[in-house]
Amino acid sequence: MKNNYKFLLLIPVIMLILLFGCRKPASTTTQQKAFFGVHLHTYIDTNLVSTGLSANTEYAQWFQDHNGRWMNITTANVYFTNVGLLSATTGQWYTLQGTIRMKRMEYEEYDLDSVPVDTYDNVRFTVGLGPGYNNNPPSYYSGAGIPATDSVLSTSESVMYANPGYYFLYLTGNVDTSAGHNLIHPIPFSYQLAGDTFQVSPPTAAQGNSFSIIPNVPGAQLVHIIFDYGKLLQSFPITSPVNIKSTTPTPVLDSIPGMFRYECSVPNGDC
């Protein structure tokens, strides 16, 4: 009887051993990631506006827009955030949360963050900052002083702060107003636009060609996107100097989504 009693006591112990002994260890593996960035080009129609770090005279190049009108650009700043990649594997968007950059004409390459190693069909991003940042002054702003640096928004340009809020687009240049497009009557334009944000995306992976982010590549793997300011302003018959500072919708806003396209037939190709 005593032996049977001992056997009955051993049954729950044996069951616990079988239950936990046969359980597979929890997986500790995570999806591999690689560093991602964007190479953003300033264009007028099919012409690349030269970039660099010297005086603005280097950028004052005249090119024809899509309507044959001559123009040049002297300043082109655009805030962008919420960069996302469309996974060809899952069909879901992977969004880089909190990534904020200002596209300046002087710079083209922007390293962003690590993303899952995968094949992707498209890229999207938001033009503008959104209420999380747009409703707050920059951390350095004193209310009266001139901003010096802005670690949060990655810019030292005081012109981008509209007080309150930020201009998401700051564009200056000149445009020819002569009827014959012979560059004899150029006038200046300036647009500083704030308020709304726009989620934009170039045409799906440039003729549908996917691109891959692969592991073990030094540095950021770049997707090349064109910011075409000739496309942005081509619908506006500018006939006199323009100086617009606006926190309300303007007709220019409707043209913003159409100003982006991939530079390469494969978005992260070397073209």
Question: What is the arithmetic mean of pLDDT over 94-108?
Answer: 84
pLDDT at position 174, please? 93
pLDDT at position 158, please? 65
Q: How far is CA 241 from CA 11, 36, 43, 173, 188, in A?
A: 91, 40, 22, 10, 5
Under the banding of pLDDT at 50, 70 and 90, the label for residue 241 is confident
User: In this predicted model, which residue has the larger pLDDT, 31 or 178?
Assistant: 178
pLDDT at 138 over 50: yes
Per residue in 28-56, pLDDT (tens digit) is: 456 799 999 999 999 999 999 876 544 44
pLDDT at position 157, please? 53
Indicate the range of 98-107, 120-129, 150-159, 248-257 predicted with least confidence: 150-159
Under the banding of pLDDT at 50, 70 and 90, the label for residue 213 is very high
User: In this predicted model, which residue has the larger pLDDT, 171 or 271?
Assistant: 171
User: In this predicted model, which residue has the larger pLDDT, 117 or 241?
Assistant: 117
pTM: 0.78
pLDDT at 87 over 90: yes
* 138 phi and psi angles, rounded to 5 deg: -65, 155
Q: Provide the CA 261 distance to its chain's centre, in angstroms.
A: 12
pLDDT at position 116, please? 95
Q: Provide the CA 108 distance to its chain's centre, in angstroms.
A: 11
Mean pLDDT, the chain, rounded, equals 76
**Residue 228 corresponds to which amino acid?**
D
Question: What is the arithmetic mean of pLDDT over 137-160?
Answer: 49
Under the banding of pLDDT at 50, 70 and 90, the label for residue 221 is very high
User: In this predicted model, which residue has the larger pLDDT, 47 or 149?
Assistant: 47
Per residue in 190-201, pLDDT (tens digit) is: 998 887 676 777
Give the DSSP letter string of 14-49: HHHHHHHHSSPPPP-----EEEEEEEEEEEETTEEP
Share of the chain above pLDDT 70, in %: 71
Domain coordinates in residue numbering, the chain: 31-262
- Beta-ladder partners of 36: 113, 221
Residue of 78, 77, 119, 116 whose CA lies nearest to 96:
116
| Residue whose token pair is 């564009």 | 171
Question: What is the arithmetic mean of pLDDT over 23-31?
Answer: 54
pLDDT at position 34, please? 94
